[in-house]
Amino acid sequence: MPQIRRKFAAALFLGTATIVSLPVPSSSQVRRENRFVVHNRDGTTMSCEQFRTIQRNGSEDRGLNDALLISSTLDVVALSPLNCDAGAFTVRGSGTAGQTLSFSWPSARGYSMVLLDLPVMSAFVFEDTLADQACADLLAQQTDFGKTRKLPSTLVNLIRRRNAATGSARANQSWRIFDLATELQLQMYERAPNSLQAWQGVTFDSSHVTAEQWATTRQAVGRGGWIRIVLDREQPLDSYRPIIDRAHTLNMRVLGQILDSSEMKVLDLEGWKERVNSVLAALPLVDAWEVGNEVNGNWLGPDVEKKVAYATHRTKLLAPDKPRVLTVLWNLGEDTEDDSVFRWLTRFDKATLSDIDVLGLSLYPEDHPMGTAYNRVVRTLRRLAPRSRIGVTELGYGNDDLGGTWWWGSQHDKTLAKRSVARFYDRASRAHAFSAGGTFWWYFLQEVTSVSVSCRMAHECSHPVRGPPPWRRSVSTLKRWPHR
């Protein structure tokens, strides 16, 4: 795919180059580090601070999440590669073919993780290359969705005008191309047919569920939907049996989470093995098992790979007909190289990964933006785990225990933003033939309402927010993600 994108950008859009072309080096040559300048929509040069303010949404250094990646695998080469001097950025560590720069950047819907394939020339104009990348990604997404690779005429006309323009007019047209191309990517998810294999579910992080919450759950996920139960380490396992029985009575299925990521560090390897065997013996009617949660999080302690491997092998042996689910934390540039999702998966045991039926993302867009990067991310995950279906197995937004660095859906209306996040990722997680669906909203029990909901959560449902239930402190409050 990276080669296709570079070919497309080079021949682009009616034959007019977006920047001054430099000779393409041979494989034995080393390119100079990439360098770029950025212009505002009025054509003025964007300062370093202006760029950084946009990237981090006005927050402090926790919002500086740029990273240099290997284009084919999205594995992290270096964190914080951007250096700025007098308005021109240098990408530290770049200079070889097949590299991608990742960073957060806003569109009309909110912040996405941009995956910008670095051009073969060492110097480029940021907004031109960004616009070309958005168009290339749109064409790649059309191919992935089985559609004809063709840019709409509105976008083609913008490209024509951009390529004939200079100065402020050119900058303005590039930003307009970026706006339209990214919006069209998001719209493709909203219009895509759903995979027939895809799940739809919510998360229960308590064994206490009211009749009102059951009714809302049934309306949210529908017949055949899923409930993901977070099995608290300090809660008796038999206290979850009524939930499993009630779910089955209501024609819903149950995904059991052996242990939340916030509690894995408490157990050593032997304690984890005992936990796995106790859970499988106590709750045989669970329909699927989550053998590891947010496994690349840096707060899980030692032996995570061994723990996940053991849980995978034991569930395969003792419950061979139950799907096995592995959840990874979506994290690219917000923590260390080793904890990034693709690095972790490339070093994880391949034999164990082949026994995973569903590879799911834990997605908290305000702490780890995704948006338009979703298509490329799940395609890359699919190549790493070709036997697994790919989905979103944990999703949340807007809770007080999250960082709130970036936004999606609305900057000011938290309820509208939650609905936008739920709706988009529900559709995105079910759009591919290999999709597993989801999205197993983490805060569901805390955020359901007494108002009857007559539609699915993924569409126009409105769940006004209220405070956490009084009967217990949710383990969600323990989930903290470090930022660089």
Q: How far apart are CA 258 and CA 96, in angstroms?
A: 43
DSSP string, 347-385: HS-HHHHTT-SEEEEEE-TTTS-BGGGHHHHHHHHHHHS
Share of the chain above pLDDT 90, in %: 79
pLDDT of 29:
45
Using the structure block, give the residue that is written with the tokens 């021109």.
Answer: 88
Q: Is the predicted pLDDT of residue 60 greater than 90, yes or no?
A: no
pLDDT of 243:
97
pLDDT of 120:
87
When pLDDT is averaged across residues 150-171 and rounded to a whole number, the result is 97
Q: Is the predicted pLDDT of residue 462 greater than 70, yes or no?
A: no
Average pLDDT, the chain: 87
Cis before 182? omega within 30: no
Distance of CA 352 to the CA centre of its chain: 23
Among residues 115, 106, 119, 48, which one has the least CA distance to residue 333? Answer: 115
pLDDT of 470:
25
When pLDDT is averaged across residues 435-446 and rounded to a whole number, the result is 95
Q: How far apart are CA 419 and CA 284, in angstroms?
A: 34
When pLDDT is averaged across residues 186-195 and rounded to a whole number, the result is 90
pLDDT of 196:
79
Write the CA distances from 474 to 75, 139, 204, 228, 466, integer angstroms. 33, 43, 10, 14, 14
When pLDDT is averaged across residues 187-200 and rounded to a whole number, the result is 89
When pLDDT is averaged across residues 66-70 and rounded to a whole number, the result is 97
When pLDDT is averaged across residues 465-472 and rounded to a whole number, the result is 27
pLDDT of 30:
52
Amino acid at 462: S
pLDDT of 484:
32
When pLDDT is averaged across residues 460-469 and rounded to a whole number, the result is 32
Write the CA distances from 418 to 194, 328, 375, 439, integer angstroms. 21, 21, 21, 13
> Cβ atoms within 10 A of the Cβ of 274, count?
12
- Give the SS3 label for residue 205: coil
pLDDT band at 477; cut points 50, 70, 90: very low
Task: List the single range of 32-41, 131-140, 399-408 with lowest mean pLDDT.
Answer: 399-408
